[in-house]
Amino acid sequence: MSDLHAHDSRGEHATRASEATALGDGIFQLPTDYPEVCNAPLWSYLLTDADQFALIDPGVRSTFAATLSGAIDAMGLGLDHASLLLATHGHPDHSGGQSSWKDDAPHARIGAPLVDAPWVESFDRQWVQFWDDYPGIIDNNPSREFLASLCVPEPTVDLLLRDGDEVALGDRRLDVVETRGHSWGHCAFFDRDSRTLFTGDAVQGRGILASDATTVFAPLYVDVSEARWGLRRLRELPFERMCPAHAAPMDRDEGLAFLNESLAFIDEVDALARTMVERSAPSPLLTRDLAIAIGALAGTTPPLTPQTAPTARAHLYHLAREGILDAAWVPAAVTHG
């Protein structure tokens, strides 16, 4: 859910560094510096087994020094006891911090979903395939240098995660559950013993309120059918606690409500897209116009963002697959002249 604009980084890092929250069953919620860096809430989750630990979604490149190292030290854990550094997907706020551990935890294995691993290992590849993939809709080029600073230099992925894989941390077992939708390879992790589900960005409700409460980060997904499939799949798991990356941990009832709200938002945008297609006919419906409408629906300021652009395109592709739309490139002179 990376924002494209640097936020005021003058945070109370020294205070926040010690604020790890014990969730029970050897699981801890750790603060990150993402509210200061990008104005969005973000947590990492630490799981322990004996004298080793795994970290899920270790933030951006600065997060290790800003919050995680201090929080883990305050817990009495040695940084060199890190065994696994896992990313739910390849966006910088989830995988960008993996390489920051190499000096303090040189033996920790870096894990990422198979399909997203090329993004984790190459910001240039991610740039071409995601951030710069919306010509005529939104231009992210002014923020390229800032985005790169969140994740470069990139790590090498040691552990390619596939759907159905089992990741071991001592006696603790994590099931890899492919969810896709938010990114093409997005995965969740299910700790079967504690029945805790770590969902990354798969579950977004109607969006995530910014840290300063001035805007909302709208739900982002690159494919409508895949996003629905992933959410329904998570809903069927026997979890008792759900831990999203950008929202506070939830019990089962709260988690199911958040999943259902996420599905309902997709349906709402689908209905919006269909209505806009009907109203625009016989003229084409521009992806940019749908993105702005999605932003207005979610309460984003401004409404055209790096979140609403891919979501809009996903819905137009979905309607094209149904035969409701034909793909068309409209000359800019017609739309902007």
Q: Is residue 327 part of a domain?
A: no
For residue 105, give both structure tokens.
């935890």
Those residues with Cβ within 8 angstroms of residue 255's Cβ, 6 or more apart along the chain or in another chain: 197, 203, 239, 241, 242
CA distances from 107 to 75, 78, 101, 103, 218 (A): 20, 13, 10, 9, 37
Give the per-residue pLDDT at 108: 97
Q: Is residue 2 part of a domain?
A: no
Instruction: Please identify every stretch of the chain with a pLDDT value under 50, giving residue numbers as ranges.
Output: 2, 5-17
Q: Is residue 104 part of a domain?
A: yes
pLDDT tens for 107-132 read: 999 999 999 999 999 999 999 999 99
Per the structure, how many domains does the chain have? Answer: 1
Q: pTM for this one?
A: 0.94
Give the per-residue pLDDT at 5: 47
Give the per-residue pLDDT at 331: 85
Give the per-residue pLDDT at 324: 94
> Between the CA atoms of 278, 284, 288 and 294, what dihedral angle is there, to the nearest 10 degrees?
10
Reference 179, options 134, 244, 124, 121; nearest CA is 244
Q: Is residue 226 part of a domain?
A: yes
According to DSSP, the β-strands at 172-178 and 187-191 are: antiparallel
Q: Is residue 39 part of a domain?
A: yes
Q: What's the rounded Cα separation, in Å, for the pair 185 and 187? A: 6
C-alpha 63: how far from chain center: 16
Q: Is residue 186 part of a domain?
A: yes
Give the per-residue pLDDT at 7: 42
Question: Three-state DSSP class for 84?
Answer: strand
Reference 154, options 97, 194, 77, 238; nearest CA is 97
User: What is the domain range of residue 23?
Assistant: 13-265
Give the per-residue pLDDT at 337: 55
Q: What's the rounded Cα separation, in Å, for the pair 14 and 136? A: 43
Give the per-residue pLDDT at 335: 64
Which residues does residue 243 pair with via DSSP β-bridges, in sequence order?
198
Q: Is residue 136 part of a domain?
A: yes
CATH number for 172: 3.60.15.10
Q: Is residue 174 part of a domain?
A: yes
CA torsion sign for 300, 301, 304, 306 is negative
